[in-house]
A and B are shown apart, each in its own frame.
Chain A
Amino acid sequence: MNAIDRRIFLKLAGAAGLAGISGALPSAYAADETALSKAKAEGKAVFYANITSVKAIMKAFNADTGIDGIYTRLSSSKFLPTILTESGAGKLLADVVQAPRPMLELLNEKKVLAPYHSPAAAGYPDWATKDAGITLFGIEYVSYLYNKDHVKETDAPKRYEDLADPKWKGKIVMANPATHSSTISWLVGLKEFVFKSEADWMQYLKGLAANQPMFVDSFGPTPAPVESGEKLIGISMPKYIITKAPAPLAWGPRGGQPLLGTPRAIGVAAHAPHPNAARAFMDFWLSKKAMSLLAKDVGEYVLAPGVFPPIDGIDKVKVMPVRDLSDSEIQKWGHEFGQIFAAK
């Protein structure tokens, strides 16, 4: 081992030791100096993702391995067309890709992903690592946020059903349930995991629709009207409590109901331009250190054991992945929700 490699090795190992975590370091690479030096020689790992605010992880990856992590954000609507177009032309620039699970499953079917089981995913739930080319590392968890300057905790909705209370008429903001895939999946998830019967669920939907929520086109624009007091409640993601701090946001339901969301997935590209760096990045991403950064700085709900976002009460609630809906199911339910909410 040359001096630089040894230093990096010791630095990484030290970081793992300091964190007191077995997987804090890219485990395969910490143990395999040849692989790490190959990855370092490749210089960079290009990461196509639709997750946001991951600058801290890219920085830590660079600091810990000496490899540049280059992040390109591809929103959901451009994710598959971009990767499939590049891949079809033999010009896929990405080494590692990240998106909701259904998107990566499609890429897996098209042989765009390589099978890779990262040792850093040890301890993740079985359902997160069962696919050869895909590892699940988090859940895009959805609940509701409310403005605690305008709504007292005692008056805040305690259960999902409370959102249908007429007292919230004209005071809710949500992503358009006719078109926003994650909201559609979440609403179907409520039927399957929360409500006792389809009739109860339908009654809830109609009550929510009668409250005439204001629509925006995704989760991103949901917190701003709640922060400013334009609306009092947003069907949104609790992670905004972290990223929008010190905004007066609080989350619910706090009555024991689970939080649901689409699983977040990651995979290595089959023809990655930097294959060793790709695996090093994957190992780092799934490590407890990176997942802790994602939870702490971004408020993400991650699957690394024992890691939780610093949001009051989130470690006590059950967070569950919703079932993957096919595109035809999403279209079908989107149309149905469009009718119920008179979205069109």
Chain B
Amino acid sequence: MNPSRPKLTWLLIAIVGFLTLCPVAMLFIGSFSQGLTAFGKFTLDKYLAAYTDPVLLDVTINTIVFVLGSSILATGLALFLAYLNTRTNIPFKPLFTVLSIVPMMIPHLLFSVSWALLLNPSNGLINSFLKEVFSLQSAPFNIYSLPGMILVEGLLNMPIAYLIIAPAMASFDVSLEESSRVFGASVWRTLVRVTLPVLRPAILAAFVLGMVRSLASYAVPRVLGTPGRVDVLATYLYQMVATGFSPDYGKAAALGMSVLAASIGLIVLYRALTSESGKYVTISGRGYRPTTIELKRARMPLFTLVALLSFVMAVLPVAVLFYTSLVPYSMVPSARAFSLMGWKNWIDVLQDPASLLSLKNSLFLAVVGASLGVLLSIFVAYVIVKIRTRASGLLESLSFLSFSFPGIVIGIGFMWFFVQTPLYATLTALLVAYIATYLPYGVRPLASAFVQVHAHLEESSLVCGASALTTMRRVIVPLLIPGIVSAWILMATMFVRELTVSVVLSRPGSEVLAVQILSFADDGLWGKLSALGIIMILISTTLVLLAMYAGKKFRAAQGA
């Protein structure tokens, strides 16, 4: 082993540990402290109160169903779409690639509200349409239910899974499948015995990330679960801190420790399942070339299916948002609604200094934060995948720490921490908190990309006299471009719409888009909210397209 590797591992443990342990440590102290702030007299009362509530059992069951359901849906859909988009000759691939990640760019609150407008049982647009067409007595769908929550959360998490699986799929060495076919295996058998096992790290990474994400998800349970009287852990935790005038985050942190333990358990499980990483290496030299599978007669039916899925996942909710941004108040489409349409909400938003400042701040946080975050993630992913020691396991767990708490709780942890430093109430505090919280978004796609790069490539470079850094820059990074692009897109789009940490940390001068959106939501101003939401989606889409373009150019330059 290169002697610099343990040093790198411990350096990264120090950096990531500092970023993630500080707020978690403050929450840990808070969970054992009397009073509302992190420091106080020692007590176990918060644990007793948090874990003895009889409602907790129902909440736990709902949470397990919600988390598993939405993660299976997200991963399954991502796998299907990534396969078609990266490996087949389905038409309009670039368009579908962008549409597949659009749900990620829509603020979760707005996405959930859009689905409530489409599928609420009273006057949801799709329900009303189906009732009329099929002369039904009652609405066929109720979005205010556990299946409704699973659908919406699954769609929201699908792009994350897609961005992890698609690069792995794109770098897949097709000769493995071809060998399987040459030896007489059917398409299905090849898929099950060759393709999926080779993609196992990426699939598991997507699934684990989806689970941790939906465990901490708040917007979907709030908008769809509360009306349906379905409580999951996130809404339960929120109620815990919101009932009464003096909210106790220490009690929420006490329960959050279980979420943290569950998340760490999932990471350990994931590491065990992918322990033989050598099995998944498919890029061992520069000779590999992914090839395209001809869909032949299945091309048009599959195209129709993907088009329909994209329409439901991305086009329909965005169309609902656009419509909402044009009407003066919440109203179902009608002649009167169309007669009242106008650009007032857009003009108000674009003339509002606070909205413009938040646009500027969010853009800065997205571009600078994602770039720094990806840089750190490359090193972390490298250590996690290529140096499989206990220390690298520790690093992986650390990278997930603050991500495992519901945002509102970790936000308070950051506030308790930053207030002890000169960074409090600055944009830098938000930058640090974003990178610390969303590190898994950078690490996961890069780790699944690293898994597929054979150690021989790195060793050859080192043998030829290149330094570890040069090897990373000249050999590894170019092969990781799809993963880097995915990681950057994930982080940048996440930072554009980050709410839960920002709402606690943002102060005058450091306002961000999502906080501005929340203030519109608190005032019930859905028109302005939707207008700003669409601006947010446009910014994210531009960033995504630029990242994809840059990645493509870079790969072309490397191949030239």
Chain A residues with a Cβ under 8 A of chain B: 46, 52-53, 70-73, 75-78, 80-82, 84-86, 88-89, 91, 93, 100, 102-103, 106, 170, 173, 176, 178-181, 214-218, 220-225, 227-231, 240, 243-244, 246-247, 327, 330-331, 334, 342-344
Instruction: State how many residues of chain B have any CB contact under 8 Å with chain A.
Output: 53
Are A223 and B524 in contact, CB atoms less than 8 angstroms apart? yes
Whole-angstrom distance from the CB of A146 to the nearest CB of chain B? 15
Contact of B243 among A89, A179, A216, A224 (CB under 8 A): A179
Any A CB within 8 A of the CB of B92: no
The 24 sampled A-B contact pairs (Cβ below 8 Å) are: A46-B508, A75-B522, A77-B238, A78-B503, A84-B36, A85-B415, A88-B39, A88-B419, A103-B246, A170-B122, A180-B242, A180-B243, A216-B227, A217-B222, A217-B238, A217-B242, A220-B523, A220-B524, A224-B524, A224-B526, A228-B332, A243-B523, A327-B246, A344-B58
A173 proximity list for chain B (CB < 8 A): 227
CA of A75 to CA of B416, assembled, Å: 17
Given A243-B524, A247-B328, residue A81 in contact with residue B420 (CB < 8 A)? no
Are A243 and B229 in contact, CB atoms less than 8 angstroms apart? no
Are A80 and B247 in contact, CB atoms less than 8 angstroms apart? yes
Any A CB within 8 A of the CB of B507: yes
Whole-angstrom distance from the CB of A193 to the nearest CB of chain B? 20
B241 proximity list for chain A (CB < 8 A): 77
Are B226 and A230 in contact, CB atoms less than 8 angstroms apart? no
Whole-angstrom distance from the CB of B335 to the nearest CB of chain A? 13
CA of A42 to CA of B445, assembled, Å: 50
Any A CB within 8 A of the CB of B412: yes
Given A80-B36, A85-B419, A93-B507, residue A244 in contact with residue B524 (CB < 8 A)? yes
Are A227 and B330 in contact, CB atoms less than 8 angstroms apart? yes
- Name the prevailing secondary structure of the A interface residues: mixed
B525 proximity list for chain A (CB < 8 A): 243
A178 proximity list for chain B (CB < 8 A): 239, 243
Chain B residues with a Cβ under 8 A of chain A: 36-39, 55, 58, 117, 120, 122-123, 144, 222-223, 226-227, 229, 231, 235, 238-239, 241-247, 249, 328-332, 340, 408, 412, 415-416, 419-420, 424-425, 503-504, 507-508, 519, 521-526
Are A103 and B244 in contact, CB atoms less than 8 angstroms apart? no
Given A75-B522, A81-B36, residue A343 in contact with residue B416 (CB < 8 A)? no
Whole-angstrom distance from the CB of B511 to the nearest CB of chain A? 9
CA of A180 to CA of B425, assembled, Å: 29
Are A176 and B226 in contact, CB atoms less than 8 angstroms apart? yes
Kindly list 19 other residue pairs between chains A and B, CB separation below 8 angstroms, not including A81-B415, A243-B523: A46-B508, A77-B408, A80-B246, A80-B247, A82-B415, A93-B425, A106-B246, A176-B226, A180-B242, A181-B243, A220-B523, A220-B524, A221-B521, A228-B123, A228-B330, A229-B123, A243-B524, A246-B328, A334-B243
Q: Which residue of A lies closest to B54 (CB)?
A: A344
Q: Which residue of B lies closest to A329 (CB)?
A: B244
CA of A334 to CA of B245, assembled, Å: 13
Are B245 and A106 in contact, CB atoms less than 8 angstroms apart? yes
A181 proximity list for chain B (CB < 8 A): 242-245
B238, B242, B519, B521: most-surrounded residue (chain A CB, <10 A): B242
CA of A326 to CA of B330, assembled, Å: 36
A224 proximity list for chain B (CB < 8 A): 330, 524, 526
